A and B are shown apart, each in its own frame.
Chain A
Amino acid sequence: MIATDAVFVGKKFNIGLRHQKIWGPDMAISFFLGELGAGVFLLSLYFGFMPGVISGLIVTTIGKTVGHLLHLGRPERAWRAITMLGSSWLSRGLLAIILYASCGGLYVLNHFYSILPESISDLCALIAAAAAVMIMLYQGLIMSHSASITLWASGLMPVIGLTYALFCGSALLLLAEQSNLIVIEANTLSTLQTLRVVLLAVVAAAVWGLLHAAHWGSTGGRESVKRLLKQDLAPWFFIFVVVLGFVVPAITTYLGLMTGPVLYLSVIAQISGFLCFRLLVLKAGNYDALMQFASPHRGF
């Protein structure tokens, strides 16, 4: 091979690419639940849908807590994770979750039992909303806080987190409306449907942008993209992330099929796309190779 080629070498004592292996499905699912819950929460808060606010709080808090405690090597020390607010997005994110759960919880409690003055309650809502935004951003910020794994090392990572969460959050609200769990008046419904489509375009563009940046970012990045688009992960990527995740909701919306089983299916489809994206982007991450020390000559 010529000097620019690199292959996957696993544990072998060869220079080459190595898959990222420490963050697996449990991390992916925690990230997914955290973002999805925060997206539902924020939109519900904005549009005033209490069931959404409550379920968003629960899904994020429990999803993140349980998922991450299961993943941590020393879960009993989890409290230490808040120590490095000055440098670590993980610490900042943990703070955000705490504020989200506490302020959001107080807001909900107040809604039912009126225990706070209105200004405080509004403040709680504001803080919880800000925290929700942070939650939707910080996971992508952690992943892109180092140039190590090229596929992740892009400013688009936090953007993807935020927009995917809102994209799926809006869809879930539409679903809740169809299931008569909440009441959305016609104008708002229309806004939500438009928001969903706009966000679809943004997420799709951001995902494309992520892959584009990775492809040109480094050899490792190029191999990540190859796996997603041409190799073992490609079927999953195309079926779930692209077709179910983007094409189905786009077409159903375009065709105006916004009710009944079709809506159910399109919402479930896009959420499965989101979850699959989270799983795949972790799986496809890899470390670059020290090919700079290989002899560059071409073999003659």
Chain B
Amino acid sequence: MTAWGMVFDLKRCIGCNACAVACKQENTLPKGVFYTKTLSVTTGVYPNTKKTYVPTICNHCEDAPCQRVCPTGATYTRPDGIVMVDKDKCIGCGSCVVACPYDVRTMIEREHLEEGLFGEGNLTDFEKQGYGRFVVGTVTKCTFCHERVDAGKEPACVATCPTNARIFGDLDDPNSSASKLIVERGGKQPLPEKGTKPKVYYVD
């Protein structure tokens, strides 16, 4: 069975957030809404400072707490492991938002779709074309670019990453680049103690 997952190579990542912008393009995301974003963390004291860039995304967990708490079944997992939100079933209770340890889910508000990227209600043709996928008062999040994946392509963030720091693949296939990377370089899941069995791994 396919189990789509992702690996982030922290040695490669330069924190440029091309991924975040590619995703915004791909998904017509409103201002301030991100399905993926790359963060940084600095430790140490000058001059022995260390800075790491850390991409983050929905982990499409195998034991997804968002799905567990959802009262309507709007949050569900596809057979290939992608955790989706059915925008027609979501009632906007927000249980999934507090249940997700990674804070990767966003409630779409009216202002998101009405103010526009340039503010004051000036929606561009791009936004007019694309905002229809969102329903105000429902939750949205990364779908591992399910439409691209179904067509055999990589997610937009993976495709654009200038340093090839994002690797997408079938974690149930030991020969996929993702699986091999996890094994060869000791992939670690984010916040494993939360018990969500994330399908996103980090190598450094």
- Do any beta carbons of A and B sit within 8 angstroms of each other in the complex? yes
Chain A residues close to B by CB (< 8 Å): 1-3, 11, 13-16, 18, 20, 22-23, 68, 71-75, 77-78, 80-84, 87-91, 94, 142-143, 145-149, 152, 218, 285, 287-288, 290-300
- Asked if B138 CB lies within 8 Å of chain A CBs, one says yes
- Asked if B159 CB lies within 8 Å of chain A CBs, one says no
**Residues of chain A within 8 A of B100, CB atoms compared:** 146, 148
- Closest chain-B Cβ to A219's Cβ sits at a distance in Å of 11
**Residues of chain A within 8 A of B17, CB atoms compared:** 13
Listed A/B pairs (10) with beta-carbon separation below 8 Å: A1-B43, A13-B37, A23-B94, A74-B91, A87-B67, A88-B68, A146-B65, A147-B196, A149-B101, A290-B190
Docked Cα-Cα span, A291 to B90, in Å, equals 32
Within 8 A of A (CB), among B181-203: 188, 190-191, 193-196, 202
User: Is A293 a contact partner of B10 (Cβ separation < 8 A)?
Assistant: yes
User: Is B194 a contact partner of A147 (Cβ separation < 8 A)?
Assistant: yes
User: Is B135 a contact partner of A15 (Cβ separation < 8 A)?
Assistant: no
The contact string, 1 if C-beta is below 8 Å from chain A, for chain B 86-119, is 0001111111011111110001100000000000
Contacts A148-B99, A292-B188; is A73 near B92 (CB within 8 Å)?
A: yes
Contacts A13-B40, A71-B93, A295-B43; is A145 near B71 (CB within 8 Å)?
A: no
User: Is A146 a contact partner of B99 (Cβ separation < 8 A)?
Assistant: yes
User: Is B71 a contact partner of A88 (Cβ separation < 8 A)?
Assistant: yes
Contacts A74-B135, A298-B44, A299-B45; is A80 near B91 (CB within 8 Å)?
A: yes
Among B97, B98, B195, max chain A CB count under 10 A is at B98
- Closest chain-A Cβ to B84's Cβ sits at a distance in Å of 15
Q: Which residue of B lies closest to A143 (CB)?
A: B98
- Asked if B174 CB lies within 8 Å of chain A CBs, one says no
User: Is B92 a contact partner of A145 (Cβ separation < 8 A)?
Assistant: no
Docked Cα-Cα span, A75 to B136, in Å, equals 11
From A23, A80, A288, A299, B191 is in contact (CB under 8 Å) with A288
- Asked if B54 CB lies within 8 Å of chain A CBs, one says yes
Docked Cα-Cα span, A147 to B136, in Å, equals 28
User: Is B93 a contact partner of A148 (Cβ separation < 8 A)?
Assistant: no
| Residue tally, chain B, CB below 8 Å to A | 57
User: Is A287 a contact partner of B102 (Cβ separation < 8 A)?
Assistant: yes
User: Is A145 a contact partner of B103 (Cβ separation < 8 A)?
Assistant: no
- Closest chain-A Cβ to B18's Cβ sits at a distance in Å of 13
Docked Cα-Cα span, A298 to B50, in Å, equals 10
From B40, B97, B193, A15 is in contact (CB under 8 Å) with B40
Contacts A18-B103, A293-B54, A300-B48; is A84 near B94 (CB within 8 Å)?
A: no
Docked Cα-Cα span, A22 to B137, in Å, equals 12
Contacts A14-B39, A74-B135, A295-B52; is A146 near B91 (CB within 8 Å)?
A: no
Contacts A73-B137, A77-B89, A80-B89; is A288 near B101 (CB within 8 Å)?
A: yes
From A142, A148, A291, B101 is in contact (CB under 8 Å) with A148
Q: Which residue of B lies closest to A9 (CB)?
A: B39
- Asked if B152 CB lies within 8 Å of chain A CBs, one says no
From A22, A84, A87, A291, B41 is in contact (CB under 8 Å) with A291
**Residues of chain B within 8 A of A1, CB atoms compared:** 43
Q: Which residue of A lies closest to B97 (CB)?
A: A22
From A20, A87, A142, A297, B43 is in contact (CB under 8 Å) with A297
**Residues of chain B within 8 A of A89, CB atoms compared:** 69
From A20, A72, A149, A300, B137 is in contact (CB under 8 Å) with A72
- Asked if B28 CB lies within 8 Å of chain A CBs, one says no
Docked Cα-Cα span, A1 to B32, in Å, equals 29
User: Is B91 a contact partner of A81 (Cβ separation < 8 A)?
Assistant: yes
Contacts A293-B204, A297-B44; is A147 near B65 (CB within 8 Å)?
A: yes
The contact string, 1 if C-beta is below 8 Å from chain A, for chain B 6-40, is 00001000000100000000000000100001111
15 extra interface residue pairs, beta carbon distance < 8 Å, beyond A80-B71, A81-B91, A146-B100: A13-B39, A23-B94, A23-B98, A78-B91, A81-B93, A91-B71, A145-B68, A146-B68, A146-B98, A152-B98, A285-B98, A290-B56, A291-B41, A297-B43, A300-B45
User: Is B101 a contact partner of A287 (Cβ separation < 8 A)?
Assistant: yes
Contacts A295-B50, A300-B48; is A74 near B68 (CB within 8 Å)?
A: no
**Residues of chain A within 8 A of B93, CB atoms compared:** 68, 71-73, 81, 90
- Asked if B175 CB lies within 8 Å of chain A CBs, one says no
**Residues of chain A within 8 A of B108, CB atoms compared:** 73
